[in-house]
Amino acid sequence: MWVQLRCGLEPKTLAALTVVLVAAAVFAGIHFWSAGPEGVEAPDVVGEAAHAPGPVSDPDADMAATGRPEPSPGPAAVPGAGGQIVVDVSGKVRNPGLQRLPSGARVDDALDAAGGARPGTDLAGLNRARVLMDGEQIVVGAPPAPAPASGTGAGGGPAAAGGGAGPVSLNTATADQLEGLPGVGPVLAQHIVEYRTEHGGFRSVDELREVNGIGDRRFADLRPRVRP
């Protein structure tokens, strides 16, 4: 009544103003309440055991737990254990013929398999430490080709090589003996020795074509005078 008399407001206007003021008060109260701080629950205290260092890994314990043992290195591979070669041992041996040997065997092993050389056999021209190749022929006690006589020059070489001594062995002849062949000088003889050392010997006379310095014409001259 006092506001109505003081401000000269009508009852409807005063009622509307009262509703607005009440609504504003309610809205302000709700806003104030929602803007207030909310309580936060404190986290659980982490025990000291969570920060303690973990146990040191034990390989034996891990193996027992998983059932998988650590890989261990196997035995060292034995060269030549997985294959076999066949060689023909002939000449002055007790048991000439085919001999089956493990791959990687040497000439000395072939001699032992053939019963050894006969007494009095000269093995000076035989490289007993050379590694054998499959299908190779080893002639024991074959007389070496005579070296050219002093002062005969190049003409004496072919005559000496073509004498009654027989073909020269490419696998056992020395460089001096190879120089006795037609058209073979010190350089070419050294190439032949280097080739048989690098490839483990000659398996056939045709391999002579692969030696540096031997062409078709020279090979045709050497072929009847040499053997593996």
What is the SS3 assignment for the chain?
CHHHHHHCCCHHHHHHHHHHHHHHHHHHHHHHHHCCCCCCCCCCCCCHHHHCCCCCCCHHHHHHHHCCCCCCCCCCCCCCCCCEEEEEEEECECCCEEEEEECCCEHHHHHHHCCCECCCCCCCCCCCCCECCCCCEEEECCCCCCCCCCCCHHHHHHHHHCCCCCCEECCCCCHHHHCCCCCCCHHHHHHHHHHHHHHCCCCCHHHHHHCCCCCHHHHHHHHHHEEC
In this prediction, residue 160 carries a pLDDT of 39
In this prediction, residue 95 carries a pLDDT of 92
131 phi-psi bin (left φ>0, alpha ψ -120 to 50, beta other): beta
Q: Running along the chain, 228 residues long, what does each successive block of 10 average in pLDDT? A: 61 76 78 64 53 54 53 43 82 90 93 91 85 87 53 41 66 88 88 88 88 88 89
In this prediction, residue 18 carries a pLDDT of 82
| Cα–Cα distances in angstroms (integers) from residue 32 to residues 19, 29, 35, 70, in the given order | 20, 5, 5, 69
In this prediction, residue 110 carries a pLDDT of 93
